[in-house]
């Protein structure tokens, strides 16, 4: 009976924290934040460091060039990435594209691309969303015809750096499916967009008869899409958890050291209880995320339930903690100079990245009722 | 991460299960009475004696005091398994859960040997006498006095919120032995014979109409000094040991209204359609589902820590803090869904035997019992997050110079 | 430009408060609370006192025997009745039945019954609800056939004392309509039910071919039902407001006088801010109730909007204030002996008395969107 | 109750309307710049001079100081009518709204006559210099010093959150003139020439990327003693007069995100259907509709009280307290409804020109500007409900012995 990460996993986490503290401190995040519109919103050095450590392949089987450690290790890495706000295409590449490949790729596709992700620094992403449709939207307008993709996907996360995209589209028979596309072709046009979190990269991508490979044809599209989302939801929940925890620590540190009315402001119940509530939200979210990690790592058939629950409480906890951390910092928390807003921005980014809350709530109840 | 038992744990669980299947009372052999009925109390005592005689009582206590000398994990396994049966264990939670451990820490050898095995077998029922009408969240602000009289003490004052006082043979009582010392310094703990002269128990009627608690009045109740637990004027330390166990016990069973709600909402129809087809109802239900899952999984993490030899800290407050308000809000929401029938508390007429009407009325009690929401948040803030304490204007002040309780202005 | 009650109306309010403080203190409310199941949950003396003062007729035209003062005067009375928790059938008789008569009664019915309500102490009520249907429910099962009513209504408020009921039913053609029924006949059977607020009276009423008079046949049933509800919503909002305000006053009084840790507990921010939030909720609810009063009194065509808004914020405010008042009283607040639970019970009673919150929210958006 | 004007009020309103229709700038004649643009400031000064010359400025001020000697109700009518036009009045709110009244209360006759009419005509722009990096909610904990030097004072220190400092000709500044006195006692108010040597203004970049505020650094900035407002070491009283006006001004215009949300939600489609057909969206929208109505009607009650000669008290804090969190939550909800596109802050691509993304980012500022949520609740609790103040450990302590600001441990 054990509901904690193992000592080995905690060691992975410690090492990850040390690496990120050294290589991706908030000054690095801020450097990306301050970049102008023409620059890519990803920190290349941090990303290369992560690739060298083999993190993208931590949960990829050894047969595909990965470390084959498993999802629990990936979860602890995700928590640290979330805590550090590291500006890399890790989530798009690893939580989303690699999992889509594993689930929907043909054997040949997996053999070709997974090793490149695991150790080669290949950046990949998903192009599923068509603006207002959302991941939860039913209607796909992207067309697959005459061996090419035609249409527009917005937003695509990390598209500017991605060499490979998994794209959803409908074929001439009107059936939805997954397609694998290399971006290095003139018929793929990527337009960067301003994000609410400028330390992350988003774009609109236009495909004009772009060459692409169909992925597995024998899949239930909706079910596969569901598994991709569920797995990603657990992993993103750990990023959210890491961010929320960082906010709580910032708030407690600051309010202990900030004096007003002759006392540390942390001694005022309005702030003490605010922080107690942040702790409570995090503990609930953490417990649900652990359940998600367990479910993901064991291939348990309650993954959908666990993923919905993990995602919903992590999104709520991060919103609460990031906004109340700003509040606990008073006027200073509202300055560009302090780091509070970096987390507040990231909280919204991560809350949006897998669609509406309502989608996850409906999915949960459909699963368990 | 692994939810499975180790081989030794699995074997222990198997034994527990077998014994329970053979010995636990069937639901239909029990009286309908709750914690307030004499009949239920008799059934509880019988059950406790049976598990004691079979070697299942107080698993973590040393054998010499009536326990089995096992670890917390066996206790957890027992609790999980026994929860599947309709047994009556609640009566002894305060004695065995709170008073026992404190006696083990602070009692003399003679006290331990004479008191603990009888407690473990429910030969003696125990209660806990700390709170007073003027000392709730501020327990150390209590005024019940114990005055030295030769080798004995005379106790005068009033205690409140005492569960099982009407059945109890003994109680641990926190008293003020020196009101000229600062408030935490002048307290002494005793145990007292609840059946002796000068002790009067009166039930308290609660806001929901129930009577689970009592007031206990002490008028020159005599306690020999050998019934002192711990040092003279050292009672606060003993009290903390008891209260820590209370928090843990409470943290583990916090009701939140969810099981009843989940049962109800899947059956309820609104305007002829399943309630869950309404997206507002569905998503609000999802919110509570997620919160309940968080509580359940947090509890699993706590048990897992115990299983691995750890001791859960103040974060155990979380379940009761979250659960109490959740119970209140979920009941109010259920009553709202029932529209005008929400007001009908008639067990025959109301939906779900009026259990949401009842929960609406007892939920405010959950938010104060065992520490108010506000005290719980203070505990989390100070003990978990290490935030500074409130400014204490009564610090170091002689107790008899501190304003306390209700003061008309 | 004036959004306050007039000096005359404030005087009416003052006199009402004085009467209720003297004649219906909480000891009177408690006496009703403690009655056994066989006794009626209405305090006859208080009710007779109210009748003598002419309150039931305050908004009824002089031509029907009322004082003809208007709805603003009725609103201030409602606030005081809510504050005092007076256990009378005032709301059923005045906010509901009298208004239903005014709207749906034939001239002959109005002339016969309104004077009896205004000055005669006649108790009346509405029998609209059929258990789970709710006032918002679409399906009516009560039948009007061969000159009699057949069916069951639950709950009917104040039915035990009511001499007259306005009943909704469908006729043989399946059309819904209103019927006026005198309860003093053997074919009307009234079964008292336990209420969550035992200081108010609820019952199930069974009609077995009970004699009744059809009311106006020329009405749009749904629209008329809507106006009855809207008017009542404003008046009940004032009762809720009065109750919420009483809770806030109890909480501030108690916490100022209760000392812990050497200080009045009102000096702890957890409680101070709780009470500030109660004040905020009440101020918003009060402002919305005033808007409702203005709309009701001027016959403004935004009554539906004003009523929905008044009802929704008043229900929320009363729930919040009644539960947090209990909480501010700590353990003592949870005793039967203290009066906190009386308001907490009444808050639920008043929240339920006009159907689900969702009904009012949907009604609001349908009106304004 | 009556929402109609009295005959005299109606006549006044008619006049205002006529004049505004003839004189207020059309929207398309204005620059696109907000409060941070020089062009907008120039337009604002022109507008203010025009209304001054026509006799509409500072209606409640005495005529001798540039006003019209009218009552608050005329001011309310003016504000209601001018709000229907795209004028630029915001720049002068702090000068005319806060500094002016304080000068009227505490200034000498000479100060009033020389300063106020120029302020009313926007010949001079004023700003307010109270907050410091180490003194926010605890304004009286400020450290900027004024040291006597003959007939003058030398000011040293740093102020923060100063709106319009970059344009201001003068500022009222609260300084510490005696650090050995308790903190509220050793403060003195001056007005200072913002263009003089030793005063340096630097814009602050906010979390949302905007720059509406400044830091102001004082290095031996000299102020003659005739620019003192009120008594030596009596500055706290002057500050309270200024702050009261600030609260009122802020209370009256609190943004809450509702108008933008209501506009959006009636157009938004979710999965091809109008968003309001989804019962969760509909009912949440209703919740905000009700809250917004409460704020709007509370505002009407406040104006009505003003119209009847009353002065709104601390309850004016309510609008900003409620509105700020509402704005934050409503923006977050809107972004959630936009699904993945919620992250897109691109004005061209995002729904509704990204105004919800912007509101999400500026809402945290609303929750602290003009007093944090926590300060607002304290004000309501203490000033409206009469609850006791927090325990004050710095009461009566010499200021230079009090810990303040950020202290590394």
Over the stretch A279-295, which tens digit does the pLDDT of each residue have? 999 999 999 999 999 99
| Contact across the interface for B283 and D282, Cβ inside 8 Å | no
Dihedral, CA of residue C56, residue C61, residue C63 and residue C65, to nearest 10:
10
Task: Tell me the nearest-neighbour CA distance from A369 into chain D, angstroms.
Answer: 18
Q: Is residue C204 part of a domain?
A: yes
Q: Which residues contact D116 (CB under 8 A, 6 or more apart)?
A: D61, D65, D66, D100, D103, D104
What rounded mean pLDDT belongs to chain A? 95
Task: Tell me the nearest-neighbour CA distance from B276 into chain A, angstroms.
Answer: 8
Q: Is residue C198 part of a domain?
A: yes
* pLDDT of residue D250 exceeding 50: no
Chain D residue with CA closest to B392: the answer is D391
Which part of chain B is CATH 2.40.110.10? 127-234
Q: Which residues contact A299 (CB under 8 A, 6 or more apart)?
A: none
Same domain, A85 and A186: no
* pLDDT of residue B235 exceeding 60: yes
Query: For position B166, what pLDDT does the model report?
Result: 92
Query: For position D84, what pLDDT does the model report?
Result: 85
Same domain, C226 and C364: yes
Task: Tell me the nearest-neighbour CA distance from A268 into chain C, angstroms.
Answer: 7
Chain B residue with CA closest to A309: the answer is B290
Summarize pLDDT for A301-316 with one digit per residue, the tens: 999 999 999 999 999 9
Rounded CA-CA distance C328/C275 in Å is 9
Tell me the pLDDT band of B199, cut-offs 50, 70 and 90: very high
| Contact across the interface for A287 and B308, Cβ inside 8 Å | no
Q: Is residue C22 part of a domain?
A: yes
Rounded CA-CA distance A68/A45 in Å is 25
Contact yes or no for A301/A367 (Cβ under 8 A): no
Of C265, C268, C352, the CB nearest to B335: C352
Say how many Å lie between the first and final Cα of chain A, rounded. 28
Query: For position D247, what pLDDT does the model report?
Result: 52
Lowest mean pLDDT among C97-111, D306-320, D370-384: D306-320
Sequential DSSP letters for A136-204: T------EEETTEEEEEEEEEETTTT-SEEEEEEE-TTS-EEEEEEES-STTEEEEEE-BSSTTS-EEE
Q: Give the pair of three-digit tokens for residue B213.
A: 């608690």
Rounded CA-CA distance B381/A248 in Å is 11
**D231 belongs to the catalytic site:** no
C-alpha distances in Å from residue B155, one per residue of B188, C185, C316: 11, 65, 47
Chain A residue with CA closest to C267: the answer is A269
Rounded CA-CA distance C170/C150 in Å is 10
Rounded CA-CA distance C53/C121 in Å is 11
Nearest Cα to Cα of residue A241 among A288, A275, A179: A288
Same domain, A269 and A356: yes
Rounded CA-CA distance C133/B341 in Å is 9
Q: At what angle do helices D317-337 and D279-307 cross, to 10 degrees?
A: 160
Query: For position D343, what pLDDT does the model report?
Result: 94
Tell me the pLDDT band of C184, cut-offs 50, 70 and 90: very high
* pLDDT of residue B38 exceeding 90: no
C-alpha distances in Å from residue D233, one per residue of B263, C24, C345: 68, 55, 55
Task: Tell me the nearest-neighbour CA distance from A277 into chain C, angstroms.
Answer: 12
Summarize pLDDT for D106-134 with one digit per residue, the tens: 999 999 999 999 999 999 999 999 999 99
**Exposure string (b/e) for B372-388, b if CB count within 10 Å is 16 or more?**
bbbbbbbbbbbebbebb
CATH number, domain with residue C189:
2.40.110.10
Q: Average pLDDT of D162-183?
A: 94
| Contact across the interface for C194 and B272, Cβ inside 8 Å | no
Number of domains in chain C: 3
Task: Tell me the nearest-neighbour CA distance from C268 into chain A, angstroms.
Answer: 7
Rounded CA-CA distance B96/B101 in Å is 7
Catalytic residue of the set B246, B315, B347, B382? B246
Summarize pLDDT for A192-232 with one digit per residue, the tens: 999 999 999 999 999 999 999 999 999 999 999 999 999 99
Sequential DSSP letters for A200-233: S-EEEEEEEEEE-EE--SSS-HHHHHHHHHHHHH
Q: Which residues pair with D147 in a beta bridge?
A: D154
Summarize pLDDT for C34-77 with one digit per residue, the tens: 998 888 899 999 999 999 999 999 999 999 999 999 999 999 99
Report helix, strand or coil for C216: coil
pLDDT more than 70, % of chain D:
96
A270 in contact with chain C, both atoms CB, cutoff 8 A = yes
Tell me the pLDDT band of D364, cut-offs 50, 70 and 90: very high
Q: Is residue A1 part of a domain?
A: no
Tell me the pLDDT band of B242, cut-offs 50, 70 and 90: confident
Pairing of strands A258-260, D405-406: antiparallel
pLDDT more than 90, % of chain C:
93
Which part of chain D is CATH 1.20.140.10? 254-384
Give contacts of B354 with chain C, Cβ < 8 Å: 194
Give contacts of D282 with chain C, Cβ < 8 Å: 361-362, 365
Q: What sections of chain C are H helices per DSSP?
A: 7-23, 26-33, 44-52, 71-84, 90, 99-104, 107-120, 221-257, 269-298, 303-328, 330-333, 340-352, 357-368
Final residue of a structural domain among C169, C194, C214: C214
Rounded CA-CA distance B158/B204 in Å is 13
Q: Average pLDDT of C112-133?
A: 92
Query: For position B27, what pLDDT does the model report?
Result: 75
Angle at D87 between CA D82 and CA D91, to 5 degrees: 110
Pairing of strands D228-229, D152-160: unpaired
Same domain, A85 and A139: no
Same domain, A52 and A113: yes
| Contact across the interface for C273 and A268, Cβ inside 8 Å | no
Q: Is residue C1 part of a domain?
A: no
Same domain, A209 and A226: no
**Exposure string (b/e) for C290-307, b if CB count within 10 Å is 16 or more?**
bbbbbbbbbeeeebbbbb
Judge residue A338's burial from the number of C-beta atoms within 10 Å of its C-beta, 0-12 exposed, 13-18 middle, 19 or more buried.
Answer: middle
Per the listing, tokens 């950046």 go with: A123
Lowest mean pLDDT among B307-311, C167-171, D113-117, D371-375: B307-311
Report helix, strand or coil for B201: strand
Give contacts of B374 with chain A, Cβ < 8 Å: 269, 273
Query: For position B248, what pLDDT does the model report?
Result: 54
Same domain, C38 and C130: no
Catalytic residue of the set D215, D246, D382, D401? D246
Q: Is residue A2 part of a domain?
A: no
Dihedral, CA of residue D181, residue D182, residue D184 and residue D190, to nearest 10:
20
Query: For position B252, what pLDDT does the model report?
Result: 57
> If you compute the radius of gyration of chain B from its CA atoms, what whole number of angstroms results?
23
Q: CB neighbours (10 Å) of residue B31?
A: 13
Rounded CA-CA distance A161/A203 in Å is 10
Rounded CA-CA distance A260/D143 in Å is 13
- What is the phi/psi pair of residue B22, to 5°? -80, -25
Give contacts of D136 with chain A, Cβ < 8 Å: 260, 330-332
What are the E-state strand segments in B44-195? 126-129, 145-149, 152-160, 170-176, 187-193
Q: Which CATH number fits domain D254-384: 3.40.630.10, 3.30.70.920, 1.10.540.10, 1.20.140.10?
A: 1.20.140.10
Tell me the pLDDT band of B251, cut-offs 50, 70 and 90: very low
Same domain, C255 and C324: yes
Contact yes or no for D78/D54 (Cβ under 8 A): no
Same domain, A235 and A173: no
What rounded mean pLDDT belongs to chain C? 95
Q: Which chains touch C (3 or more CB pairs under 8 A)?
A: A, B, D
Tell me the pLDDT band of C131, cut-offs 50, 70 and 90: confident
Of B6, B297, B384, the CB nearest to A279: B384
Of B282, B307, B381, the CB nearest to A361: B282
Give contacts of B283 with chain D, Cβ < 8 Å: 280
Query: For position C134, what pLDDT does the model report?
Result: 54
- Between A and B, how many residue pairs show a Cβ–Cβ distance under 8 A? 156
Lowest mean pLDDT among B51-60, B272-281, B313-322: B313-322
Domain range spanning residue C70?
7-118
Nearest Cα to Cα of residue D206 among D160, D138, D252: D160
* pLDDT of residue B67 exceeding 70: yes
Rounded CA-CA distance C109/C114 in Å is 8
Query: For position B89, what pLDDT does the model report?
Result: 78
Q: Is residue C296 part of a domain?
A: yes
Same domain, C246 and C304: yes
Summarize pLDDT for C16-36 with one digit per residue, the tens: 999 999 999 999 999 999 998
Q: Average pLDDT of B147-158?
A: 97
Q: In the CATH hierarchy, which top-level class contains the domain B127-234?
A: mainly beta
Peptide bond before A155: cis, by omega within 30 degrees of 0? yes
Rounded CA-CA distance C20/C50 in Å is 9
Judge residue D266's burial from the number of C-beta atoms within 10 Å of its C-beta, 0-12 exposed, 13-18 middle, 19 or more buried.
Answer: middle
Contact yes or no for B317/B298 (Cβ under 8 A): no
For the domain spanning B7-91, the CATH number is: 1.10.540.10
Q: At what angle do helices B279-307 and D279-307 cross, to 10 degrees?
A: 100
pLDDT more than 90, % of chain D:
66
What rounded mean pLDDT belongs to chain B? 90
Residue B32 Ramachandran class (φ > 0 left, ψ -120 to 50 alpha, else beta): alpha
CATH number, domain with residue C63:
1.10.540.10
CATH number, domain with residue C285:
1.20.140.10
Chain B residue with CA closest to D284: the answer is B280
Same domain, C226 and C343: yes
Same domain, C53 and C179: no
């Amino acid at each position: 009976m054990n509901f904690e990460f193992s000592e080995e996993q905690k060691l992975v986490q410690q090492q990850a924290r040390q690496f990120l503290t050294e290589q991706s401190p908030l000054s690095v995040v801020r450097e990306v934040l301050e970049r102008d519109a023409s620059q890519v919103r990803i920190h290349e050095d941090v990303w290369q460091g992560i690739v060298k450590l083999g993190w993208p392949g931590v949960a990829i089987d050894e047969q595909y060039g990965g470390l084959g450690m498993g999802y629990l290790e990936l979860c602890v890495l995700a928590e640290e990435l979330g805590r550090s706000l590291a500006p890399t295409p890790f989530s798009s590449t690893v939580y989303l594209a690699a999992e889509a490949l594993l689930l929907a790729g043909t054997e040949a596709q997996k053999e070709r691309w997974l090793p490149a992700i695991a150790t080669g620094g290949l950046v990949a992403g998903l192009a599923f969303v068509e603006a207002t449709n959302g991941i939860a939207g039913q209607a796909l307008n992207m067309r697959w015809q005459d061996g090419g993709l035609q249409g527009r996907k917005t937003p695509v996360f990390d598209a500017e750096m991605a060499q490979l995209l998994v794209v959803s589209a409908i074929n001439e028979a009107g059936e939805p499916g997954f397609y694998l596309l290399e971006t290095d072709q003139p018929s793929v046009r990527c337009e960067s967009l301003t994000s609410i979190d400028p330390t992350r990269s988003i774009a609109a991508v236009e495909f004009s008869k772009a060459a692409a490979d169909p992925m597995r044809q024998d899949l239930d599209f909706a079910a596969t899409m569901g598994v991709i989302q569920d797995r990603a939801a657990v992993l993103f929940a750990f990023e959210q958890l890491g961010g929320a925890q960082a906010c709580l620590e910032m708030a407690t540190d600051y309010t202990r050291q900030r004096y007003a009315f002759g006392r540390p402001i942390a001694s005022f119940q309005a702030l003490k209880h605010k922080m107690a509530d942040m702790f409570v939200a995090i503990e609930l979210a953490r417990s649900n995320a652990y359940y998600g990690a367990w479910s993901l790592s064991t291939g348990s058939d309650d993954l959908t339930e666990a993923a919905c629950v993990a995602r919903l409480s992590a999104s709520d906890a991060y919103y609460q903690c990031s906004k109340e951390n700003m509040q606990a910092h008073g006027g200073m928390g509202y300055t560009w100079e302090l780091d509070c807003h970096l987390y507040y921005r990231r909280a919204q980014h991560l809350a949006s990245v897998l669609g509406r809350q309502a989608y996850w709530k409906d999915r949960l109840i459909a699963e368990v009722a | 991460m692994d939810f499975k038992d180790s081989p030794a744990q699995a074997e222990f669980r198997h034994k527990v299960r077998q014994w329970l299947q053979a010995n636990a009372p069937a639901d239909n052999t029990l009286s309908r009475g709750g914690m307030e009925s004499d009949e239920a109390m008799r059934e509880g005592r019988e059950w406790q004696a049976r598990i004691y005689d079979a070697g299942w009582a107080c698993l973590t206590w040393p054998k010499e005091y009536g326990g089995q000398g096992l670890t917390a994990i066996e206790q957890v396994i027992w609790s999980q398994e026994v929860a599947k049966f309709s047994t009556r264990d609640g009566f002894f939670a305060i004695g065995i859960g709170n008073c026992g451990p404190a006696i083990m820490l602070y009692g003399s050898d003679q006290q331990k040997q004479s008191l603990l095995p009888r407690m473990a077998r429910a030969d003696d029922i125990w209660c806990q006498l700390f709170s007073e009408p003027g000392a709730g969240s501020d327990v150390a602000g209590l005024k019940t006095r114990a005055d030295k009289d030769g080798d004995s003490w005379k106790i005068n004052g009033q205690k409140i919120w005492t569960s099982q006082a009407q059945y109890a043979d003994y109680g641990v009582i926190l008293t003020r032995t020196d009101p000229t010392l600062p408030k935490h310094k002048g307290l002494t703990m005793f145990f007292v014979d609840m059946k002796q002269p000068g002790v009067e128990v009166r039930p308290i009627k609660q806001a929901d109409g129930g009577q689970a608690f009592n007031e206990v009045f002490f008028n020159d109740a005599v306690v020999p000094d050998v019934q002192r637990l711990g040092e003279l004027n050292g009672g606060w330390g003993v009290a903390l040991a008891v209260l820590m166990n209370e928090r843990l016990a409470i943290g583990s069973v916090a009701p939140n209204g969810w099981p009843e709600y989940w049962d109800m909402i899947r059956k309820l129809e609104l305007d002829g359609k399943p309630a869950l087809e309404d997206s507002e109802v569905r998503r609000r239900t999802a919110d509570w589902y997620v919160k309940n899952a968080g509580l359940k999984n947090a509890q699993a993490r706590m048990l897992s820590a115990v299983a691995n030899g750890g001791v859960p800290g103040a974060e155990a407050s979380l379940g009761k803090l979250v659960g109490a308000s959740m119970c209140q809000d979920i009941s109010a929401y259920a009553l709202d869904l029932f529209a005008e029938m929400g007001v009908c508390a008639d067990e025959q007429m109301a939906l779900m035997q009026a259990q949401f009407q009842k929960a609406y009325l007892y939920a405010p009690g959950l938010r104060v019992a065992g520490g108010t929401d506000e005290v719980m948040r203070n505990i989390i803030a100070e003990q978990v997050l290490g935030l500074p304490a409130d400014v204490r204007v009564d610090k170091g002040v002689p107790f008899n110079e501190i304003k306390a309780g209700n003061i008309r202005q």
